[in-house]
Structure 1
Amino acid sequence: MSTLFEPYTLRELTIPNRVWMPPMCQYSAAPEGPETGAPADWHFAHYAARAAGGTGLIIVEATAVSPEGRISPYDLGIWNDTQVEAFRRITRFLVAQGTVPAIQLAHSGRKASTDRPWKGGAPVGTDAYGWRPLGPSPLAFDERHPVPAELSVAEIQEIVRQFADAARRALAAGFEVAELHGAHGYLINEFLSPHSNRRTDAYGGSYENRTRFALEVVDAVREVWPDDKPLFFRISATDWLEEDGWTADDTVRFAAQLHEHGIDLLDVSTGGNASGVRIPVGPGYQVPFAARVKNETPMPVAAVGLITDAEQAEKIVANGEADAVLLGRELLRNPSFARLAARELGADVHVPDQYHRSV
């Protein structure tokens, strides 16, 4: 029997297998007009292909809780009802294929208002649909990015409300899981790390103050998200800095708190909050961070980071390093990874009737 293809239950939701798709921005939404931020044909085809390929859970890419929360003008958003209706087309199809639809709710903070990666990813101004980014402190991410506007306490509280409103809309759009984006140098991560948070009020300084915003977001979303549905949190387990950064020890401590506040699974990644750092990238390089959280806290975890083949994924789950694996680049290369991995491991996975001749 394959552990990778055993069902997994969180709260009252059962996910058919442990092969999951992480959020990966497609930068393919309309930048202006009534369809701004709404998923289009590209998004439907992209997610539908992975669902038809047997993926157990698909987390739709970082979806902004407000227009200024987008990474680029071409990102998805869920701040209005037009966007909700467009998402329903995707969630209906995923459910029909036996895939659990999830969505990552996000605010990009100081790394907002950039061009698409294949256009260089540089910050853009108002002449290219851009805006001034926001952040916990007036510190630019790097020399290319502008200094963000420092958020007031009232503005922080408004963003907390925006996350809750986005969760309500995600539920209306048919999503079964919501994930809060607390990783990769975006707004929640910026508050967590002393590298990017230099505030001297109740939202900065001590560990307790730096985690305040994140926990307020969690509490606000958990209040509106149904008790029978799971809530995930994506974290960068380390800034990869030798000092003055968020650390693996902080992550373990915070994971236990998140669990107490109603987070059901920690999606463990790393990096993204400090420019120019050296990251020892290699197969499964982030898995040890997930394994440590799983071993030292009651929090279930999903592992990411160059997980590329069935045997590797099977070992991670079977050895108890993680409860599930999230495959990013590999699912971009191969939408049917889950079906092929199941065949290799002697397991069963959903196959659409139209594809039975491929089994």
Structure 2
Amino acid sequence: MDFDLNEEQRLLKESIDGLLTDSYDFESRKKYMAEKGGWSKTVWLKLAEQGLLGLPFSEADGGFGGGGVETMIVMEALGKALVLEPYLATVVIGGGFLRHAGTDAQRAAHVPGIIDGSKTLAFAQLEKNSRYDLFDVTTTAKKKGDGWIIDGEKFVVLNGENADTLVVTARTRGDRRDKTGIGVFLVPANAKGVARKGYPTQDGLHAADITFTGVEVGPDAVLGNPEDSLALIERVVDDARVALCAEAVGLMDESLKTTVEYIKTRKQFGVAIGSFQSLQHRASDMFVAAEQARSMSMFATMANDFENAKERSNAIAAAKVQIGKSAKFVGQQSIQLHGGIGMTMEAKIGHYFKRLTMIENTFGDTDYHQRRVADAGGLI
């Protein structure tokens, strides 16, 4: 099986690697983190100029028709550079809902703004007691004439503080944990009745807790079937999980590289600690864990095109398990090999471990996905 990138994919990789090398070192990241909303609008527009924000959208919608491999390449690069900008929230998740379920009018209203960098989105899904269950929804959407009235609360909404449009899950009928009666709505972030409380997360990104009080939206706000959109939500969240797997691989790559460089220069007893065989063994184990994660990320990328939804979800869950295990091991070993300095805010290695930890807990942690794989009878 040929895992080499084709010429266009190699050019894409070179393009984004070059952009981030020039504009996204660790010191620059600190400055971007201090900007309003926690990320740089200038960098976001640079991503737009290179066509990266339009990558997964069809040519008919003004995009480039990129597939899973192209998204994997971009997310790996974003992981290596510890990028703060809301590519996952806006392009992968928000754009995913529009690609999979948006009408022509909805795509025309939102996709051009995503592509040119003037619009960002956020996925308001997590609730107080829902944990990782996408069907656990208490936020309600009730019919009012042709439109809807939305009431409820959402928590830890990634990019929720800055987003122009919120993609909101809400229950149109049934009880809290019913798997039917769930709709998805496009809600303007400045709509009357929307209240946002933003804050930084542990990995340096920004999120928001959002309250919806009598928020009125029209019939054009509905994505897909308002009474049966769980399959759509699961489809887009699987896209996000695959993207997160790729980002984690980029983070692990850079963590390993940074750690090996450090033990080659850090001296103890007059010699570089990298000359100690036990530490060489640790670095070797980190390399193996990172490569296992890479192989499963590639598998998840291919599996995301499976037509059978159960097979797709099972394969992606298995990938998330390996990613979680590898991320924990590589992150912990990186900190251990750096010693005390690895725990400081000044050392970038700790920031890589924080982001890896957040990825492990996003859309299902390792234990959650391991149970899913076991309940499905295993990967094969």
Structure ID, larger Rg: 2
**More relative contact order, 1 or 2 (CA 8 Å, 6+ apart):** 1
TM over 0.5: no
TM-score bucket of the superposed structures, by smaller chain: under 0.3
Query: TM-score when scaled to structure 1?
Result: 0.25
Greater helix proportion: 2
Query: TM-score when scaled to structure 2?
Result: 0.24
